[in-house]
Structure 1
Amino acid sequence: MSGAIHSDRIGRGVFMERSWVSSGAYRAVIEELVTAREAAGVGQRELARRLGKHPSWVNKIERLERRLDVLEFIAIARAIGLSPDSLLKRIDEALPAGFSV
């Protein structure tokens, strides 16, 4: 798979970004997810522990190296103490106007 080297707030460093997860709209989703996790006082390792996943799983999602599916989104929302619908509403409000898929 091809990718480009980028530095980003989400990744907090240099990483290999996958073009299929790097749209502006998808970035907004992940940024809001990271903001919600941090606001809940939950680190990546703790989130991974709560989900029964390896910390690299969370890290790859937040660094845009792995795409998040809807069931994982629901599990993450619940693991950080939010209802999936409230987190989805926050994400919807953060999405750029007129985004496309």
Structure 2
Amino acid sequence: MNKSIYTEEYRLFLLRLRKARSESGLTQVQVAHLLKRHQSYISKCESGERRIDIIELMAFARIYGKNLDYFIQKDSGVSSP
């Protein structure tokens, strides 16, 4: 049995995080620059390799022009790739 370390909710959260960046028209490099981080930080956040705390999520939301609700809504509104 293949067991994931992430819940379905977290998987959907990661999809929303990537979708928000895509909709904003920004690259990982551009977001990293705005956050004063390396591009690898953005990549790790988006892939789930690095967990995001609420303060970091607020920064992403501000950059992407989204409300926090967008990232934590129960109904995903995001289709799986």
- Name segments (4+ residues, structure 1) moved above 4 Å: none
Instruction: Looking at secondary structure, tell me which structure has more helix per residue.
Output: 2
Correspondence for 2:52: 68
| CA RMSD across the alignment | 2.0
Aligned ranges 1:56-95 → 2 under 5 Å: 56-82=40-66, 86=67, 88-91=68-71, 92=73, 93-94=75-76
Higher RCO (CA-CA < 8 Å; seq separation 6+): 2
Stretch deviating more after TM superposition (42-51 or 73-82): 73-82
Identity %: 32
**Structure 2 unaligned regions, length at least 5:** none
Correspondence for 1:11: none
Correspondence for 2:8: 24
1:52 Cα shift? 0.3
Correspondence for 2:35: 51
Per-residue CA shift, 1:58-99, capped at 9, x if unaligned? 0001111010100000011112233xxx2x32231318xxxx
Which structure's CA Rg is the greater one? 1
Instruction: Looking at secondary structure, tell me which structure has more strand per residue.
Output: 1
What TM-score do you get using the length of structure 2 for normalisation? 0.79
Residue of 30, 34, 52 corresponding to 2:18: 34
Per-residue CA shift, 1:35-74, capped at 9, x if unaligned? 0110010111100000000110000011110101000000
Indicate conservation of the 8 Å contact 1:45/1:55, yes or no. yes
Aligned residues: 73
**Structure 1 unaligned regions, length at least 5:** 5-17, 96-101
